[in-house]
Structure 1
Amino acid sequence: MGIEWTQSTERVDWDALSELYRIAPLGNKSADWLRTAYGNSMFKCLAFEDGEVVAAGRAVADGVDCAYLCDIVVHPRRQGAGLGGQLLQRLLGLCRGHRKIILYAVPGREAFYARFGFRRMTTAMAVFADPERAHADGYIE
């Protein structure tokens, strides 16, 4: 069976999605945290293969000015096969019409996103709940 794409979270096994983020690896995000984050996001996109979520991402957006792509994840066994690019293109399509679409990448993955038109910002700044961890992970100086 092929990949089935959806914007609905109705079928999501939140514990399984939490495990996907852990093994991808994109950090430890609890099932409840993910349910809330996806529920509060204007756009979401998920890929299922044989009933299992193998890729997911979401965008927090205001509908006109700014959309922020976040939590883009692909199962390790599917990484490098084009699924991440398909997911990103679908999210970009959902965000079409916004004046700017922003994301911050896992350090070392910037070249992947540059292929889709993303460029490094010179003025981006952030306040992190755990700045020491953000620094150690390479997100801030």
Structure 2
Amino acid sequence: MNRRRTALATATALATALALAGCSSGGDAPELSVSGAFMPEPVMDDMAAGFLTVRNDGDTPDKLTSVTSDIAGEVQIHEAEDQKMREVPSFDVPANGALDLERGGNHMMFLKLKKKPRQGDTVTVELHFEKAGSVKAELPVKEPTHNPDKQ
């Protein structure tokens, strides 16, 4: 009788755990990935720009709310409109879509650089999302004129 109760308790606990796991990792969470990341070697000593694409293959939209990096005292996310840029509080990452941070458009600005990155270096960033939490990404430092759209 004892074995039967133990087996039943174990099966119940396992079924509960699987049900809870299914609830937390189901289709209600964004599925984010980062690609095309790079930083052109900065011309100035105190600021740089960064670019990448965040892809969301999930059915739930998300928001990029901030970016941090050890290389800078501050990282801002900027919107580019009518040849002007301004800091924004967040960027939407649509469900089954992408957020493109690219030259001439929306981008990351690294301010108060602690060290000027050089071509061949890699800059680590942490992207902070409203729903998905934090995602780390590596930005290889390219030549100052690097533009993947022009290649």
Larger Rg: 2
TM-score bracket for this pair, using the shorter chain length? under 0.3
- Higher relative helix content: 1
Give the TM-score, by structure 1 length. 0.27
Higher relative contact order (CA 8 A, sep 6+): 2
- Higher relative strand content: 2
Give the TM-score, by structure 2 length. 0.26
